Structure 1
Amino acid sequence: MRSGLLLEGVRPLGGPRQRILIKEGRIAEVGEHVGDRAAVRVDCTDLVALPALVDLHTHLRQPGGEHAETVASGTRAAAAGGYGAVVAMANTDPVADSVAVVEEVAHAAAGAACAVLPAGAVTRGLGGEALADIRGMAASRAAVRVFSDDGRCVHHSALMRDALRQIAAVGGVLAQHAEDPLLTVGAQVNDGRIADLTRLPGWPAAAEESIIARDCVLAAHEGARLHVCHVSTAGAVEVLRWAKARGIAVTAEVTPHHLLLTDDLALTGDPLYKVNPPLRAPEDVAALRRALAEGIIDAVATDHAPHAAADKTPPWCGARPGMLGLETALAVVAETLVETEAMGWADVADRMAVRPAHIAGAGRRFGRPLQRGEPASLVLIQRLPWQVRPADSLSLSRNVPYSGRSFTHRPVLTMLDGRITHDHHGLLNGAGPT
């Protein structure tokens, strides 16, 4: 649409009402009195505008797991959640440990509903024995900058040191799944009270905290960047606080489900609530919320993990861990932190767009200010109670942990470089790219 769009009454970062004029994929003007007679006017009164969100931790399952999710379905779900970009984890089949596979993922994402940034595996086949082709993936057309064996910890200390060294040399970041496998053999639920009540093997907090501490020390020695995936314990927060106070280049993410749900849900026996790391105690949830508000935890990342019904319906110990998260992440953050006034919308933009974009090496395109000359990649959010219904999900899977739960905010329109990728209410009535 060459004439452009004029979004009227919108509230950038939750501030005063403004008008945003969008032309040719970019923000042309922002202000109280902006006007353009040729532009299509859209009533966005009191909708909050944020930069399009960036997810550091998405499982798109392609290649190899297309029965649970594809790049097409996963990016549609991401756009519905307000995302402009997602980092696609490497635990596909085959594993994204080579130039060929990461370029296959990038090719599959051409024209998708959001940008896809392929992550590369740290070790070959996620085996934890030999490093993957880190230099090759970084130099490929996929331009990989995030490397992770997510789902598996890079446990061998010397291998971890070498990985940090190589990834630092290509300007990337190592995203670690912090879990000492020797402490979690057979683990199923949070250690302590819940493990005692369910009589299932417990997952100790020390398994997470000890790896984070080790890796922070290694990263400091190597001058490398470390990113900690899905932090889940109060103790892990204190390790991160210690490391950041010493100037160690470590960042961390927390999932929406670890901000909202507690380990008591394991008592239901419903495998929907089985996740890795497990849901933790209320005091851990409170510590994670405080850490996100403080900025000790840098980002919210969904760990969107779609599974077909056959993988989530067996009894607890036989079910696969993981939950959907892309379409509900912003609603959870709004509920737990904005509604409680622990964070404002500018903070949400920082933790869900700005910092994630920089961590992923995509800060030149995403997480940009909503101002003149910047890409028109944004999400509009409405305050209107709604209820989660798994059948409404755009994912191919239905393992949503919030079925029947009501939230007060939801994304209603997402734009990527001026292209409408999601329009929940039909605000633009089929208007094309600007």
Structure 2
Amino acid sequence: MKRMRREIRLFLMIGCVLALSRSAGAGGKNVAAGRLTCFERGIPVARESRLGFRPVDARVMRWAAGDDVDGTGRAVVELTPEHRSVFFQAGIRRLYLLSGSGRYVPGGADVLRFWVRIPSGSPLLSKTGERTFGVWTYHWKPGDEHVGGPSNRGLATDSMMHGYAEFSFRPECSGRWIRVQLSEKAFQKQRDYYHWYAASGVTAPYDFWATLRQVQFVSLGDGDAERADWELDCLGLERRPRLVEVDPSFHRAVAPPGGEIRVPVRITNPTSRDRSYRYFISSALGADRETLYQMVWRTDSLVPARLAQRAVKAGGGVGAVRLHDAFLRPVGYKEISVRAGESWKGYVVHRMHPGMRTGAKKISFSGKNFSARRDTLMTTLIFWDPHEPMSGDEACLINPGSNADEPGHRAPPGFPRQEPPPPGWRSRDVPLHQPGGTFVSMIRLGEAA
């Protein structure tokens, strides 16, 4: 009898250990970067908490066996002028792609990875580098119950956190599988902030990949093209070693509209070899994101947010914020050399100007009245290693750059005359695949002291 009791206790202990192992394994699978779909058994369709493509998108996608990346199957996508994009998501709104649940788990991914194959002659190919293909992201701020509304299926798709990566493919890469890896550097603008660069600003202070709830693949080619055919396989989120790290990665402050704000930063080379870095800084000046978002969820429309940015005359560009070294000397267009495992110290210097801030502007939409000010200066600073060799697949993508450093656009109030950086230092030179190395600041302009 005693022996039987010991065996029962042993059995229960083993069962508990196995249950805990399975629970930990399941949790690890949920929060670790990895595949979202490799089209093993067809086109996955989003239903409830299951990840997949919208049912309407599955109509322009078909599954094909063989001749794919991993031997399980592939998706053939046939986009038309009437149906120019497909969405990967869950059936409900408030569910993160990375965790597979409503849990926000930062630090779990560095890039969005997928394979594409594009036939020769496709409108997605470009010799000149205009935007032909878009990967747009939708993000849910932790705790934001407005996304999805009470039913968790409402029209509010994101927390005013919507990133845009737009690029093209080189014609010489047609007809073969291309491994696409997009870091947060690839996402060049945020909804309603179009003079912008780097997705770290889209979701700051939250993790870009941890807040991701929906991905949209978009054909941006000629609207008269009859169809844009391409193949997709093995979509997932991955970890990748970072070539550069910035501390802090985010800074928020309130300042009078005048004087300077200096933020100390440390640039670290976490790799085993010496590196030299270039950088790109751009800023956007406009209404506060939370103010715009309140307009969106109260009206269930993006129109009032766009009206508000127009009313306050939002804009952006380069030159309002500059990088200085530890002795407060401007770095200029000189590469920053950092030995393996060591750091460089400097300052991000914000030059505020009284003309940056406006009084309240009234906006009316759908029977509701709102007000907004031009009172927020948002800046992204990006570092990258221009000497890191590109793989053949990475070289297939052409970065068209941001409008932040386009020559000829008018400078917002308080910005210097817009002069594009020299070749090699422009937004179009930022590699789309290198993760890490971003700093974001959000400076609210208060009343004059």
TM range (shorter): under 0.3
User: Which one has a larger percent helix, Structure 1 or Structure 2?
Assistant: 1
Length-normalised TM-score, structure 2? 0.27
State which structure, 1 or 2, has the greater radius of gyration over its C-alpha atoms: 2
The structure with the largest strand share of the pair is 2
Length-normalised TM-score, structure 1:
0.27
